[in-house]
Amino acid sequence: MKLLLLTLLPTLALAEPLPLLFTEDFSGDLSHWQPTDAKKWKLTTVDDNQVYELLGKSDYQPPHRSPHSISLRKDLLVGSFELTARIQTTQTTRGHRDLCFFFNYQGPSNYYYIHLGEAPDPHSSQIFIVNDADRTAITNSKTGIPWKDGQWHKLKIVRDIDSGRIDLFFDDMEKPTKSATDKTFTWGQIGIGSFDDKGYFDDLTLHGVTVKRP
């Protein structure tokens, strides 16, 4: 497996606008979501608005060293996509406090995820691949995520399978916070969660290209 460690890349712009696949404001039920541990997820009201809350580390034990708390969007496989969301950590401050986003998820041993860690190191605040082995960073980012307690943050992830590009935007929707290039996985599910922390998710919008499982 060849991994490219890239930090300074031009911003990815997809050639054509992608079709809208779903919007999710969590005002309804959770029938579209598949958590690794349903006891650790619930709908909760914050400032008169219903959100999806992760209550802490799931009991789920992955086959390789990788996040425990994952909730996947059911019945939808995508290739290239653009995902936006609002997120808030409810974890006390620490270097590895995080929320995570999962994509091109083909199974518990094959996917990418973005770890929104407070402090950067080889196991935090990077873009990772899980490929039949413990998670491996495909970035070498020196930038942590500037969480602000009790505040919502904006996020955007852009994935282009033709070029292999992955761009993460955090609060600033014009300049990526982290970028990488990898073509190992080109389709799969979208998911949200954390390695072992807690937080809120709301207002997800996914534009993308649907694919059929090979």
pLDDT of residue 10 exceeding 50: no
Is the residue at 124 inside a domain?
yes
Give the pLDDT mean for 29-46. 98
pLDDT of residue 180 exceeding 50: yes
Is the residue at 29 inside a domain?
yes
What is the end-to-end Cα distance of the chain in Å, rounded?
20
Is the residue at 2 inside a domain?
no
pLDDT of residue 96 exceeding 70: yes
Query: Residue 83's closest CA among 20, 146, 164, 127?
Result: 20
The pLDDT score that the predictor gives to residue 4 is 39
How many domains does the chain fold into?
1
The pLDDT score that the predictor gives to residue 38 is 98
The number of CA neighbours under 13 Å toward the Cβ of 92 is: 0
Rounded to two decimals, the pTM is 0.92
pLDDT of residue 20 exceeding 70: yes
Pairing between β-strand 41-46 and β-strand 189-194 as defined by DSSP bridges: unpaired
Q: Calculate the average pLDDT of the chain.
A: 93
Task: Record the tokens describing residue 132, joined without a space.
Answer: 């039949």
The pLDDT score that the predictor gives to residue 214 is 87
Residue 79: which region, alpha, beta or left (left: phi > 0; alpha: psi -120 to 50)? alpha
d(CA 201, CA 211): 25
Contacts for 182 with CB less than 8 Å, ≥ 6 apart: 3, 4, 112, 129, 138, 164, 166
Is the residue at 206 inside a domain?
yes
pLDDT of residue 5 exceeding 70: no
The pLDDT score that the predictor gives to residue 14 is 54
For residue 111, the enclosing domain spans: 20-210
The pLDDT score that the predictor gives to residue 17 is 86
d(CA 50, CA 61): 29
- CATH code, 115: 2.60.120.560
Label residue 9 by pLDDT band (50, 70, 90).
very low
pLDDT in tens, 98-132: 999 999 999 999 999 999 999 999 999 999 999 99
Give the pLDDT mean for 177-190. 98
pLDDT in tens, 135-178: 999 999 999 999 999 999 999 999 999 999 999 999 999 999 99
Q: Environment class of residue 175 by beta-carbon count within 10 Å: exposed (0-12), middle (13-18) or buried (19+)? A: exposed
Other CB atoms within a 10 A radius of the CB of residue 118 amount to 19
The pLDDT score that the predictor gives to residue 13 is 52
Query: Residue 80's closest CA among 176, 182, 161?
Result: 161
Give the pLDDT mean for 79-104. 97
Other CB atoms within a 10 A radius of the CB of residue 205 amount to 15
Is the residue at 27 inside a domain?
yes
User: For the residues of 157-208, what is the DSSP string, one character each?
Assistant: EEEETTTTEEEEEES-SSS-SEEEE--S---BEEEEEESS--EEEEEEEEEE
Is the residue at 13 inside a domain?
no
Is the residue at 5 inside a domain?
no
The pLDDT score that the predictor gives to residue 12 is 52
pLDDT in tens, 53-74: 999 999 999 999 999 999 999 9
Is the residue at 163 inside a domain?
yes
Give the pLDDT mean for 166-191. 98
